Structure 1
Amino acid sequence: MKLRFRLDGWRFGGTLLLLIGVIGLGVSLYRWAELRRADQEIVVYEERSPESGFVPLTLMNVQEGAPTLAIATPEVGESTPAMTVPGANQSAPTFEPTPTPLPAIPKRLIIAKIDLDAPITPVKARKVKVGEAIFGQWLAPDEFAVGWPTETAMLGQVGNTVLIGHHNVHGKVFERLHELEAGDLIVVEGGSRRFSYQVVNVMILPERDADLQTRLENARWIQPSQDERLTLVTCWPANSNTHRLIIVARPIGQSPMPDAEPQ
């Protein structure tokens, strides 16, 4: 009887030890997987990275907002036509309501001035650790294609639609982007529509060797905005990536693409 009791106790103890070992192994594997995931998500940023096409750093979960665009408006003067004020004998005009088109995912970028016609592909951000802070950094496609950061606005939506691309590697999709000037036309296709934009800002900003605060100030141009706008980003100059070329355009209209079905 005592021998049987001892055998049962040994079996119980062995099972318990085995169970503890399995639990310990599971915890270790879980921690290893978490560390692996963290290593994949956080990349230690190198200030003098030889790679190009990076979008400026953006602070994770903090949206200060893009700078306000200064759009010139005509001043009211003697040459300004007088406004017609409806009188008692004037009938108010009637308008047929038209449905508001849904926002569209950008699919194609056309800039006739620089002979650019390129597909647009969605891109994701990587996490970058600088000091103790974690930042986001969008990566341009490693092919002849323009990248659309999926967290930025869609076409026809209030907000900042950001497009990024390489300028001297991987197809050089934005090789001639620096030739654009204020007033130039940019067309983006998406959702069976063509969205037209007019360039209003062309900026070349120090980036790679600049201090962190300057780089974060640069990054404001790719943050969400209170207006509808299009922002194109690449590196500069042609043989390096020390600066960022940032072009901002405002919407001037949209139209159905030829043979497109009504939405």
Structure 2
Amino acid sequence: MRGFVRFVGEILLTAGLLMLFYAGYEVYGSQWETDREQQGLADGLNEAWAATAEESGPDSEPLPGSADSRLYIPSLDLDWVVVNGTTPDDIRYSPGHYTEYPSSAGGAGNYAIAAHRTPGLFWDMDLLDNGDVLVLEDGENFYTYEVFQEETVLPTDVWVIEPDPFDDVEGAGEGEPERSLITLTTCAPKLNNTHRLIVWGELVETTPKSEGMPDSIAHMAPETAEAE
């Protein structure tokens, strides 16, 4: 009987360790895959931005899953390429730009972005505070947004990505939005998906790329990262 109990105990211990290692990989091991995929997206995005306006087709619609912009969060020392679309395939290794409403980096409306709550993506989004800055980069400019509100909502609260989620005037949504907002969405709490953590920012500055990177993200320049 003692031998049987010992055998069962060893089986349970081994199973527990395997489950622990698997959980650890799910949380942290996927960060390597995210970093690898992000590098490929960054290379493609830089090539697209380097193309001439005639070659890129200024009036063409972006394809789902294609690189769209770059997002910097300097207070967390993080940046990513943002793709178009928020399907599971789109956001497996990248933040994804919601396409339910027309929006562009720096433009009027709400540039809303979703990402998984995993290390390498929006794991530490709860550390953002009012006054922190978020920077979007497109082919021509850097757009600096200032965080002004954070809220935890239910998954059904899709109003958070509307063109102006804070305009509660009846019929106001029928016209063109006047504010330039950015919205970040992810699961809450960590390792769960019962709610959504939302962070909003509003555009405060536009910096042409000909003037270099804004001071807030100057330390994140590629040459700086390589030197370190």
CA distance in 1, matches of 2:163, 2:107: 11
Superposed CA offset, 1:59-88 (max 9, x none): xxxxxxxxxxxxxxxxxxxxxxxxxxxxxx
- Taking structure 1 as the reference length, the TM-score comes to 0.46
Runs of 4+ aligned residues of structure 1 deviating over 6 Å after TM superposition are none
**Partner residue in 1 for 2:203:** 251
Query: Does 1 or 2 have the higher relative contact order (CA < 8 Å, sep 6+)?
Result: 1
Question: Is 1:191 aligned with 2:191?
Answer: no
Equivalent residues of 1:108, 1:117 under 8 A apart: yes
CA distance in 1, matches of 2:86, 2:110: 16
**Partner residue in 2 for 1:156:** 106
Q: 1:205 aligns with which of 153, 178, 196?
A: 153
Equivalent residues of 1:196, 1:253 under 8 A apart: yes
Question: Is 1:222 aligned with 2:161?
Answer: yes
AA aligned to 1:204 is T
**Deviation, structure 1 residue 206:** 3.6
* Greater alpha carbon shift after TM alignment, 116-125 vs 106-115: 116-125
- How many residue pairs match? The answer is 135
**Partner residue in 2 for 1:117:** 79
AA aligned to 2:203 is P
Helix, strand or coil at the partner of 2:159: helix
Whose Rg is larger?
1
Task: Give the CA RMSD over aligned residues.
Answer: 2.7
Equivalent residues of 2:132, 2:146 under 8 A apart: yes
CA distance in 1, matches of 2:146, 2:211: 25
AA aligned to 1:118 is W
Helix, strand or coil at the partner of 2:146: strand
CA distance in 1, matches of 2:69, 2:198: 20
Equivalent residues of 2:147, 2:202 under 8 A apart: yes
AA aligned to 2:194 is T
- Taking structure 2 as the reference length, the TM-score comes to 0.53
Q: 2:188 aligns with which of 236, 241, 259?
A: 236
AA aligned to 1:224 is P
Change (3 A) 1:201 1:139: farther
The answer for unaligned runs of 5 or more in structure 1 is 1-101, 126-137, 208-214
CA distance in 1, matches of 2:86, 2:196: 19
**Deviation, structure 1 residue 124:** 5.3
**Deviation, structure 1 residue 173:** 0.7
Helix, strand or coil at the partner of 1:166: coil
**Deviation, structure 1 residue 192:** 2.2
Superposed CA offset, 1:88-128 (max 9, x none): xxxxxxxxxxxxxx9x9951010011121111111156xxx
CA distance in 2, matches of 1:199, 1:180: 8
Superposed CA offset, 1:238-261 (max 9, x none): 12111100111000011122578x
CA distance in 2, matches of 1:111, 1:158: 21
CA distance in 2, matches of 1:150, 1:177: 22
Q: 1:107 aligns with which of 62, 69, 73?
A: 69
AA aligned to 1:237 is P
Equivalent residues of 1:140, 1:164 under 8 A apart: no
Equivalent residues of 2:134, 2:144 under 8 A apart: yes
AA aligned to 1:155 is A
Change (3 A) 1:142 1:114: same
The answer for unaligned runs of 5 or more in structure 2 is 1-57, 165-176, 213-228
Give the structure with the higher percent helix: 2
Question: Is 1:147 aligned with 2:96?
Answer: yes
Helix, strand or coil at the partner of 1:201: strand
CA distance in 2, matches of 1:223, 1:119: 22
CA distance in 2, matches of 1:124, 1:237: 20
Identical-residue share of aligned pairs (%): 27
Superposed CA offset, 1:28-53 (max 9, x none): xxxxxxxxxxxxxxxxxxxxxxxxxx
Equivalent residues of 1:106, 1:154 under 8 A apart: no
